[in-house]
A = this chain, B = another copy of it.
């Protein structure tokens, strides 16, 4: 493994040291903890606190979404490992002003266990908590609540942050964030593996002309292995699966995301996004906006997620609300 690190086992700690040195105008460490960061300006009195977190190794997820209009506090664990309940509790207490805290995280067993335990600790300390878990990966079965959470995290945290900033109460922030999450569908295609920084071990193997559709963010098995094929054929297949899963109908309006998994060039992402636009247009589905870039990676994995986010008037308003963070910003309209 060739990575720009000091000691592999300290990669996450060193990354957070770098974030702290580079962005004192944006964030500060909570209570001397390695991986719990509060955004500048938080907590805001009489506003719901928004807590976002999960395992490290998927940067810019989660720390990249710390900022006004997004997460008030971010808590990360080790590489691909959930943060522990004590860290989550410290994060929640840092943003609670008596209006409660929304937990937003991906639907993984380890995260559920740790965040649920943290919720119990919060109850003991009088902090009201509600939770929205993200499950958007259509490659993981028909039971939606058992699906993996991937790039839809961007739209759940965007919605939660906008709703909290608008002054909604905890139940209302939870409700609209849940609707945003339920309105997202994602499918990915992998080309090349990631290497775990702490072990140097590749997450999977693929032949020189092979791709895998639906592989998870940690190398979990997908729908099928196939030969590399033109971007337009891949995008047509992927959009077809996503649209059928809702199912979407003519006239529906979506945000389209083309997410790079780590090593994939912006050139490829725009080629895929272009093909996805065509595949949506062919179904009479309107693209309200497009997000193209690296929003959630798996180290230097090669590949692309396509995510759709079905809009309604309220979700559109929250999508367009201003926000400012390292990974996702929108200027005031």
Which residues of chain A have a CB within 8 Å of any CB of chain B?
2-7, 11-12, 14-19, 21-23, 25, 56-57, 59-60, 64, 189, 191-192, 197, 208-209, 211, 228, 230-232, 234, 256, 262-275, 277, 287, 289-290, 292-294, 297, 299-300, 302-304, 324, 326, 329, 331-332
Contact = CB atoms under 8 A, between A and B. Distances in A.
Nearest to A208: B2
Main secondary structure of the interface of A (DSSP, over half): mixed
A332 B211 CA distance: 43
Given A263-B263, A265-B262, A6 B270 contact: no
Contacts of A297: 265-266
Contacts of A191: 2-4
A297 B262 CA distance: 13
A2 B302 contact: yes
Contacts of A277: 18, 21-22
A302 B300 CA distance: 9
From A16, A209, A271, A304, residue with most partner B Cβ within 10 Å: A271
23 contacts: A2-B211, A3-B191, A4-B269, A4-B304, A5-B230, A5-B268, A14-B274, A15-B266, A15-B271, A16-B270, A17-B274, A18-B270, A18-B272, A18-B292, A21-B287, A22-B256, A23-B290, A262-B265, A264-B300, A265-B297, A265-B300, A266-B297, A294-B294
Contacts of A263: 262-263, 300
